[in-house]
Amino acid sequence: MTRKLITKNILFGFLTWLIPFAISFLFYKPGGKIVVPYDLFKSIMIVVASTTGCYFLYRYFKNITSNFIKESFIVGITWFVINIILDIIVLMPIMKVSFSGYMMAIGLRYLIIPVIAITLGYSLNQKTVK
């Protein structure tokens, strides 16, 4: 893995966390009161996060020409860990919840990152095998 690819991996992983986090502020008034029903907010955030993740996976794999499965595991796990760590540092103190409460409310949703990344890696690998 080249230095450029490592940098891209970490930067894109950070952006998969930052963009949905920034967009979430559009749904809160100053003081922390949500302006839409909470279930709608959660649905919107899942769509925003999935779209962001898929876009950056596309950008990450755009110039990858081999080792798709290996790269997909690396990027999926890296981004999962980055998102969890940033949430522990930033979001958990805001939410004032325990780690288990956080994992049940939000953290498990981040498993979609490695699932989509690894599915993409296998898919790209299939295209090159034929």
Phi, psi of 34 (to 5 degrees): -75, 145
Percent of the chain with pLDDT over 90: 87
Q: What is the pLDDT of residues 24-71, one digit of tens each?
A: 999 999 888 999 999 999 999 999 999 999 999 999 999 899 999 999
Give CA angle at 86 (59, 92), nearest 5°.
Answer: 140
Q: How far apart are CA 46 and CA 56, in angstroms?
A: 15
Confidence of residue 128 (pLDDT cuts 50, 70, 90): confident
Q: How far apart are CA 1 and CA 94, in angstroms?
A: 36
Q: What is the pLDDT of residues 73-125, one digit of tens each?
A: 999 999 999 999 999 999 999 889 999 999 998 999 999 999 999 999 999 99
Distances (CA, A) of 121 to 69, 76, 91, 99, 117: 5, 10, 30, 31, 6
